[in-house]
Structure formats: C-alpha cells, structure tokens
C-alpha cells in the first residue's frame, strides 16, 4: 500500500497496521515462480492453497517480492542446457505476469524501481536465482542472467556443485568455493548482483565473505544459536556478514526456526512415507502432478502431527541478530510456496502485519520496523547499483 496521499491522522498514527503500511516491505524469497510455470496458477485471484498471490500480498501490504528461480539439481552438470531452460522458463513467467497485469505488478531490478512501485500502488516483482546450477559452470552466464533481470544468486542449493559446497550434503562439510567459484563472486560484484549465502556450506560462506567487495546477504536463513541446523548461520557468520554491510533475511519456515523441530519432522516424514508414496502412485498425471500430490499429503500431515510454531519465534531470531549486530542487518525472506508448513499466525503473506505487531509489542520503534521490513535491503540494493 504505502499510499503517498495518507491523511494527517494516518501519518501520525501509531496503530500497528498504519506503521506496517507506511513501511516498504520486501520479501527476499518465495518459490511462487514454479507454481506459475508448473501449475499455471492465476496470481490475480486469491488462491485457495499456497502462501502467495496478489490479493494476499496486497492484504499484507507487501511492496516487493523477490521470486526465486529454483532449478532442480538433477538438471545441473552435463544437462546444463536443461538447467538453463528451466531457469529461463521461470524468469519468462514472472516477466509475463508483470507484462500482463501492469496495474498490479512492476518488474523491478533496483531500489528506485521498488520505490516507484510503492508510489504507483503496485507490487514490485524481482528475480533471484537459487542455486547456480543454471549458470552451467560458465562465467559469461552470470551476466546473461543479470541482463535478464536477476539481482541475486546463491552458489548452491541442497546439493554441492563442483565449485561451491552446500550445507545440505556430506561433500559440503569440507568444500568451499574453488577458484572458479571465487571468480563468480567477483563477476557478481562487478555487475552489481547480490551474493546470497542461504544454503551454502560453512566454508563456502567464509570464502564468499572473504572474496566479496560488496555487502553479502542471506535471503532466507535464521540463527543456529536458536535452531541448530546446518542451513542457519552461526553468531560468527552473522557478525562477519554484518561487517560487509549485508543483511540476514529471516526465514519463516518452522524447521529453521524452532529448536528440535527438524528431528520431529524427520520422524513424521518416516511415519507418513507410505501415505506419501501411495498418493504419488495414485496420481495419473506427469512428474509435476505427482510431486504436487506428495506435497499435499505432507502439508496435511505436517499440520496434523507437528506442534505449531508462532510468529513470535521469527521475532526471536530477529532479536538475536539485532542483539549481535544491530538493527541495520536484518530483514525478511519468507520462503513461501517453497515449504509445506508455515507458522500458525504468519501462514500466508496476508498475515505479514502480525510480524510488525509482534516487533512493536517487543519495543521496536517505527524506524526499526521499517528497516527490518525492507529499508535495510533497499540500502544494500543501492550499494549494488552501478
Ligand atoms: Zn531455499
């Protein structure tokens, strides 16, 4: 929302909703591009499933969404052209969304574009590439994706590549960036593309921080001091990332937020495995349909069998980061539409004001809230502008 013609009383209001609406809210990570491509969902409608569409984004006063371009790791390596096609197809559907609905969306690549979207009452749509399987080990592809509008990339998703270790596999325990990986970081610095450390191995994290000359971001991560999972950042990492001028965007996914939750989820996954396989086998459609059938069962059973996690836990992670490095180095990255369960009271993007309410309840000022919701990321994007 953030209408520029707010009347005087709204401008002065300390009502949490008014404070939320005045802030520029930027979600650094959602997986909705795959839904656009594979399920042909109409984001102009309020969808009955998933976590994100234009109607719910407006209800939650979201101003900018980074659409994650996620490529299955199986498409990497010798099948590089397939990985690139998969990325290109997702970029095309996000661009088409903005082109077909110019009253709702503004395709954005910069902080200025986001501010323009706010002035025009639109949602800025931005692109980030998750796991650089799509650059196919070719440096020139970094610029190719920059030219297509991509403004951040993470070196690896849950599977390590030859040039970057992931936090998700055994190889990543010892692998960081090799020389090619470091040259990718330097190329991104040259172009003004943000380097995302979410999903990378600890060694890759340190290699990125020591190589990058620009602020480094985590687009959807949390704190290992609270939830001890390899995907999260240690206190030392958070301090080092803040030193680059960067931002940790806190994820909304219970597995990375709640202590012990990952183990519980593993147990539930084992319990429901036969049910999940049965749903997949019973689905007559293609691989995409089968995956959706499996996800539906997991969504239903996770909600039934796992303890609910609340938005206050997200704010615990924000608090932890603020105590370590101050309020200038924290933001938000929901991972909506990329996870099978969300927090109970921030279940979809429409509930985003509940985060602001909890921040205010804990004593954060309006200035703090506006930094956390998006102001800090605007600063980092400006630092990358050429
Ligand atoms: Zn992710």
What's the CA angle centered on 219, arms 253 and 335, to 5 degrees?
Answer: 30
Contact 250, 332 (CB under 8 A): yes
- In the reported structure, the alpha carbon of residue 109 is separated from the centroid of ligand 1 by a whole-number distance in angstroms of 21
CA distance 343 to 357: 15
CB 185 within 8 A of CB 177: yes
- The total number of residues shown for the chain amounts to 386
What spacing in Å lies between the alpha carbon of 246 and ligand 1's midpoint? 18
Cα 115 to middle of ligand 1, angstroms: 26
pLDDT confidence of residue 24: 98
For residues 87-105, average pLDDT: 97
Q: How far apart are the CA of 190 and the centre of ligand 1, in A? A: 25
- What is the Å distance from ligand 1's center to 221 Cα? 8
Alpha carbons 271 and 262: distance in angstroms, whole number? 14
The CA 257 to ligand 1 mean position distance, Å, reads 14
Q: How is residue 195 annotated by DSSP?
A: E
CA of 365 from ligand 1 middle (Å) equals: 30
Cα(67)–Cα(300) distance, rounded to whole angstroms?
25
Q: How far is the CA of 130 from the centre of ligand 1 (A)?
A: 7
Bridge partner residues of 68 (DSSP): 128
The residue among 333, 326, 345 whose CA lies nearest residue 126 is: 333
Segment 178-212, tens digit of pLDDT: 999 999 999 999 999 999 999 999 999 999 999 99
Task: Please tell me the distance between residue 251's alpha carbon and the centre of ligand 1 in angstroms.
Answer: 9
Gap from CA of 249 to ligand 1 centroid (Å): 12
**Cα–Cα dist 282/268, whole Å:** 21
Q: With 70 as the cut, is the pLDDT of residue 382 above it?
A: yes
User: Coil, strand or helix: which one is 128?
Assistant: strand
Q: Rounded to the nearest 5°, which phi and psi values hold at 366?
A: -60, -40
d(CA 38, CA 71): 13
Ligand 1 centroid – CA 157 distance (Å) = 7
Please give the C-alpha separations between residue 144 and each of 69, 138, 193, 216, in angstroms, as whole numbers.
14, 10, 12, 21
Measured in Å, residue 219 CA sits from the centre of ligand 1 at 8
The mean of the pLDDT values for the chain is 93
Q: How many whole angstroms separate alpha carbon 191 and alpha carbon 198?
A: 20
- State CA 373 to chain mean position distance: 13
pLDDT tier for residue 79 given thresholds of 50, 70 and 90: low
Spatial CA neighbour of 151 closest among 204, 84, 104, 91: 91
Which residues have CB under 8 Å from 223's CB, separation 6+?
Answer: 232, 233, 235, 238, 317, 320, 321
Q: What is the pLDDT of residue 9?
A: 47
Tokens linked to 22: 């005045």
Cα(10) to ligand 1 centroid in Å equals 37
Question: How far is Cα 246 from Cα 376, in angstroms, rounded to an integer?
Answer: 8
How far away, in angstroms, is 281 Cα from ligand 1 center? 27
For residue 323, the Cα-to-chain-centroid distance in whole angstroms is: 23
Q: Tell me what percent of the chain is helix, strand and coil, each rounded to the nearest 5.
A: 55, 15, 35
Q: Which two tokens stand for residue 160?
A: 């390590």
What global pTM score does this model have? 0.94
Residue 286's pLDDT band, with cuts at 50, 70 and 90, is confident
| Cα-to-centroid distance, 166 and ligand 1 (Å) | 11
Digit-coded pLDDT (tens) for 25-58: 999 999 999 999 999 999 999 999 999 999 999 9
5 alpha carbon – ligand 1 mean position (Å): 37
Rounded to the nearest angstrom, the distance between the alpha carbon of 198 and the centre of ligand 1 is 7
CB atoms near residue 240 (< 10 Å) = 19
3-state secondary structure 45-83: CCCCCCCCCHHHHHHCCCCEEEEEEECCHHHCHHHHHHH
Q: For 129-170, how does the pLDDT look when each residue is reduced to its tens digit (9 = 90+)?
A: 998 777 888 999 999 999 999 999 999 888 888 899 999 999
- Rg over alpha carbons for the chain, rounded to the nearest Å, is 20
**Residues 348-373 pLDDT 10s:** 999 999 999 999 999 999 999 999 99
| Cα 385 to Cα 245: distance, rounded to the nearest angstrom | 15
108 and 114 Cβ atoms separated by less than 8 Å? yes
- For residue 352, report the distance from its CA to the centre of ligand 1, in Å: 20
C-alpha span between 185 and 199 (Å, rounded): 16
Q: Give the pLDDT of residue 243.
A: 98
User: At residue 8, does pLDDT exceed 50?
Assistant: no
Closest C-alpha among 223, 249, 259 to residue 330: 249
Q: How far is the CA of 336 from the centre of ligand 1 (A)?
A: 10
> How many A from CA of 183 to the centre of ligand 1?
23
């Amino acid at each position: 929302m953030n209408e520029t013609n707010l009347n005087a009383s709204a401008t002065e209001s300390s009502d949490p909703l008014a404070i939320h609406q005045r802030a520029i809210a930027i979600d650094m990570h959602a997986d909705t591009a795959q839904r656009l491509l594979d399920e042909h969902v109409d984001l102009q409608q309020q969808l009955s499933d998933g976590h994100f569409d234009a109607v719910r984004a407006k209800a939650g006063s979201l101003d900018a969404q980074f659409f994650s371009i996620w490529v299955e790791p199986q498409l990497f390596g010798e099948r590089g052209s397939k990985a690139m096609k998969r990325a290109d197809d997702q970029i095309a559907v996000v661009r088409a969304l903005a082109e077909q609905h110019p009253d709702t969306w503004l395709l954005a690549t910069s902080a200025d574009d986001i501010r323009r979207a706010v002035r025009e009452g639109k949602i800025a749509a931005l692109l980030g590439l998750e796991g650089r399987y799509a650059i196919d080990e070719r440096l020139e592809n970094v610029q190719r994706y920059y030219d297509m509008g991509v403004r951040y990339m993470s070196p690896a998703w849950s599977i390590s590549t030859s040039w970057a270790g992931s936090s998700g596999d055994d190889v990543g325990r010892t692998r960081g960036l090799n020389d090619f990986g470091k040259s990718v970081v330097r190329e991104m610095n040259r172009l003004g593309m943000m380097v995302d450390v979410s999903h990378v191995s600890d060694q890759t994290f340190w290699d990125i921080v020591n190589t990058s000359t620009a602020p480094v971001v985590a687009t959807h991560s949390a704190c290992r001091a609270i939830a001890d999972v390899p995907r999260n950042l240690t206190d030392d990492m958070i301090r080092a990332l803040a030193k680059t001028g960067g931002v940790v965007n806190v994820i909304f996914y219970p597995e990375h937020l709640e202590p012990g939750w990952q183990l519980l989820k593993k147990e539930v996954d084992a319990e429901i495995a036969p049910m999940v396989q049965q749903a997949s086998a019973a689905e007559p459609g293609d691989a995409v349909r089968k995956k959706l059938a499996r996800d539906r069962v997991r969504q239903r059973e996770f909600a039934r069998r796992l303890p609910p996690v609340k938005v206050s836990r997200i704010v615990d992670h924000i608090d932890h980061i603020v105590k370590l490095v101050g309020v200038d180095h924290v933001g938000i990255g929901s991972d909506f539409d990329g996870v099978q369960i969300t927090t109970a009271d921030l279940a979809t993007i429409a509930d985003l004001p509940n985060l602001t309410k909890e921040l205010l309840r804990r004593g954060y000022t309006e200035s703090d809230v506006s930094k956390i919701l998006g102001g800090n990321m605007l600063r980092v994007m400006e630092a990358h502008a050429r």
